[in-house]
Amino acid sequence: MILIYGFFSNISANLVVYLFFPLYICKNRSRMKKLTRKEEEAMQILWKARKGFIKELIDLHPEPKPIYTTFASIIRGLEEKGFVGHKAYGKNHEYFPLVKKEEYRKSFMKKVVSDYFGSSYKNVVSFFVNEKKITANDLRKFIDIIEKGEGNG
């Protein structure tokens, strides 16, 4: 970190965190913490908005809107977990995601497949077939996607 700090000495600490923390999370995806339902809702809003002040983010929240202090606490918790960063403008903070939606989705799905399907994607597909959520036509499309993907490298 000393090398990074020396190289970026004229750049704010928030920018360094914004640029390098996602790389750390990606390399240590297994360490990514599971979010609560409320935290996931807040992250969905932040991923969509890309950045925003608490009031702006609450305005994007579906009804019923959360109380300002409650939502601010959720965002601060996300910041403590390393999912969110902020840029200060006096006493106001503009928040932005540090973890990409795709990275959280990969980590979340990997955990679900591991915990509920014995780390078998075949078991996942079988589950959805048995639940009648996937049709034979869907499976044929999946096979086409897999075969085309294998043909491309």
Are both 86 and 122 inside the same structural domain? no
The pair of three-digit structure tokens given for residue 61, joined into one six-digit string? 């929240």
Are both 23 and 84 inside the same structural domain? yes
Question: Quick check: 23 pLDDT over 60?
Answer: no
pLDDT at 32: 80
The pair of three-digit structure tokens given for residue 104, joined into one six-digit string? 């959280």
Are both 120 and 96 inside the same structural domain? no
Question: Quick check: 13 pLDDT over 70?
Answer: no
**If you average pLDDT over every residue of the chain, what do you get?**
82
Question: How many domains, in total, are found in the chain?
Answer: 2
Q: Is the CB of residue 16 less than 8 Å from the CB of residue 5?
A: yes
Are both 26 and 13 inside the same structural domain? yes
Are both 140 and 88 inside the same structural domain? no
CA angle 102, 63, 56 (to 5 degrees): 65
Distance in angstroms (rounded) separating the CA atoms of residues 131 and 133: 5
Are both 8 and 61 inside the same structural domain? yes
pTM of the model: 0.68
Are both 79 and 123 inside the same structural domain? no
Residue 140 sits in which domain range? 102-151
- Residues 31-70 have pLDDT tens digits of 688 899 999 999 999 999 999 999 999 999 999 999 999 9
Question: Quick check: 150 pLDDT over 50?
Answer: yes
Phi, then psi, of 6 in degrees rounded to 5: -65, -40
Are both 64 and 89 inside the same structural domain? yes
Are both 50 and 94 inside the same structural domain? yes
pLDDT at 24: 41
Are both 29 and 60 inside the same structural domain? yes
